[in-house]
């Protein structure tokens, strides 16, 4: 007869002995994007920002901006779509500020006027959605499914996959001596 410990398998804490912590984080973040846990996209964006500040050559400027702004934009739209309680300036503005800093934080790189225009247009859209409930309702019925629906989610998923794959390649696999 098996003991309770044998039936449960290894405790979760022992998993870190087999898988390096950064790989566990990457796997968890992949689950976030795969399951479309949009309310956790901010965590994913913060992790990606931190990694890309340390290893900027992991992605091109354009890829970084698409990834970071894309995740944050999707989160902001979800906040606006969910309910009136979340669609308020005090809730949304920190996310818009984060998007703005995404453009300006890449030292030594020339910002792209198209990216700046895109961020400005998005900010204006969000301000309109927060101020005019009727416009918000029409936007989420007509525009959102087309502009930010499955194709947008798929593009984000590909960008996250690229980011995590490139990060994975940087992580050396330990050999027997290192273990």
pLDDT by position in tens, the chain (length 179):
444 444 556 566 665 566 677 888 899 999 999 999 999 999 999 999 999 999 999 999 889 999 999 999 999 999 999 877 778 888 899 999 988 887 766 555 666 788 888 889 999 999 999 999 999 999 999 999 999 999 999 999 999 999 999 998 887 766 666 65
Residue 166 Cα distances to 2, 26, 62, angstroms: 42, 11, 16
For the entire predicted model, the pTM comes to 0.82
- The verdict on residue 1 lying in a domain is no
- The verdict on residue 145 lying in a domain is yes
Domains of the chain: total? 1
- Of 129, 17, 18, 26, nearest to 73 by C-alpha is 129
- The verdict on residue 74 lying in a domain is yes
How far apart CA 174 and CA 66 sit, in angstroms, is 33
Residue 54: give the domain boundaries.
Answer: 21-170
Distance, C-alpha 59 to centroid of its chain: 15
* Assigned token pair, 134: 């009727």
- The verdict on residue 33 lying in a domain is yes
Supply the DSSP symbol for 142. I
- The verdict on residue 143 lying in a domain is yes
- The verdict on residue 10 lying in a domain is no
- The verdict on residue 38 lying in a domain is yes
């Amino acid at each position: 007869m098996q003991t309770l410990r044998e039936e449960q398998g290894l405790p979760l804490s022992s998993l870190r002995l087999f898988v390096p912590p950064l790989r566990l984080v990457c796997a968890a973040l992949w689950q976030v994007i795969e399951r479309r846990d949009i309310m956790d996209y901010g965590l994913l964006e913060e992790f990606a920002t931190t990694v890309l500040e340390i290893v900027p050559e992991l992605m091109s400027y354009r890829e970084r901006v698409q990834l970071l702004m894309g995740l944050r934009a999707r989160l902001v739209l979800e906040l606006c779509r969910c309910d009136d309680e979340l669609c308020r300036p005090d809730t949304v503005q920190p996310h818009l500020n984060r998007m703005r800093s995404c453009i300006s934080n890449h030292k030594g790189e020339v910002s792209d006027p198209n990216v700046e225009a895109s961020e400005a247009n998005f900010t204006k859209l969000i301000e309109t959605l927060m101020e005019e409930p009727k416009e918000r309702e029409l936007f989420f019925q007509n525009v959102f499914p087309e502009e930010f629906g499955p194709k947008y989610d798929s593009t984000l998923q590909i960008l996250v996959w690229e980011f995590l794959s490139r990060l994975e390649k940087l992580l050396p696999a330990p050999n027997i001596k290192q273990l």
